[in-house]
Amino acid sequence: MSAPLFFVADGVLGAVAVGDTVRLDGPEGRHAATVTRLTTGEEILVADGSGRLVRGRVSAVGRGELELVAGDIRDQPAPEPRFTLVQALAKGDRDLLAIEIGTELGVDEVVPWAASRSVVVWRGERAGKAHAKWERTVRAATKQARRARVPTVAPLVDRSALVERVRQADLALVLHEEATDPLVGVELPASGVVLLVVGPEGGISSEETAALVAAGARSVRLGDTVLRTSTAGAAAIALLSGRSRWA
């Protein structure tokens, strides 16, 4: 089993050198010491979200905190191209499952989208709580995948905001079951932003598709089968990663 990953505050690891002691406290420290019950000598990973990853061994365990001695330090470069997953709000936590798997597969940014056919609606106090839940889901998936960078969860977008996102992307792709062009045949840019749009359970409306395509997006399909909103994005990200980052 690989060493578990925990996060410290942003920038904390910037000046850490091999042999230095790193303190893990707060919620992460409590989880490591109390829930995971790590003991002296066990190997763990620590990151601060900047791409720096420190591997070390626990040197001391206290009440809700621990210390480790840095044994190996690596800086993971930001991946290129950058993958942004635009995930439509969906019922039954299917949107959460989508961003969880997408994060494990390498998504760099997640954008919640209030599509016209989304059953779930974010309003008022619920919007803040739902956005925070997306952030917690992404962070947990980042730790599961042992990634040194936590994907950003952008604010909720509507159609007009998404259209602007499409215009700014280096490549924008809309998954649609009626598209004729296969995703596997799309040429990816070497760098920049690849924006992937996934609709809700009822699919993306013709009006939304037309607006996104008019802004520069390409409508593509994965294959002959129709996937759920919870799995379509993950399948697409895996395919794109296999053709670029994993190659």
CATH at residue 163: 3.40.1280.10
Both 114 and 236 in one domain: the answer is yes
112 vs 46: CA distance, rounded Å: 28
Both 94 and 70 in one domain: the answer is no
- For 27, 104, 136, 205, 247, the CA distances from 3, given in Å and listed in that order, are 18, 16, 21, 45, 25
134 vs 24: CA distance, rounded Å: 24
Both 23 and 119 in one domain: the answer is no
- For 8, 100, 242, the CA distances from 196, given in Å and listed in that order, are 30, 15, 15
pLDDT for position 121: 92
Both 123 and 65 in one domain: the answer is no
Domain that holds residue 235: 82-243
Both 71 and 112 in one domain: the answer is no
Both 187 and 204 in one domain: the answer is yes
Evaluate if residue 217 carries a pLDDT over 90. yes
8 vs 123: CA distance, rounded Å: 32
Instruction: Give tens-digit pLDDT for 117-131.
Output: 999 999 988 899 999
**Kind and range of the H or E element at 193?**
strand 193-198
Q: What is the CATH number of the domain that holds 14?
A: 2.40.240.20
Both 226 and 105 in one domain: the answer is yes
Both 101 and 197 in one domain: the answer is yes
Evaluate if residue 42 carries a pLDDT over 70. yes
Evaluate if residue 1 carries a pLDDT over 70. no
Domain boundary at 55, 75, 95, which?
75
Average pLDDT over residues 50-79: 92
Instruction: Give tens-digit pLDDT for 95-123.
Output: 999 999 999 999 999 999 999 999 999 99
Domain count within the chain:
2
Both 86 and 65 in one domain: the answer is no
Domain boundary at 56, 75, 94, which?
75
Both 88 and 60 in one domain: the answer is no
What is the radius of gyration, based on Cα positions, of the chain?
A: 20
pLDDT for position 224: 83
Domain boundary at 46, 75, 104, which?
75
4 closest CA partner among 53, 77, 73: 53
60 vs 21: CA distance, rounded Å: 10
pLDDT for position 243: 84
125 burial class (0-12, 13-18, 19+ CB within 10 angstroms)? exposed
Mean pLDDT of the chain: 93
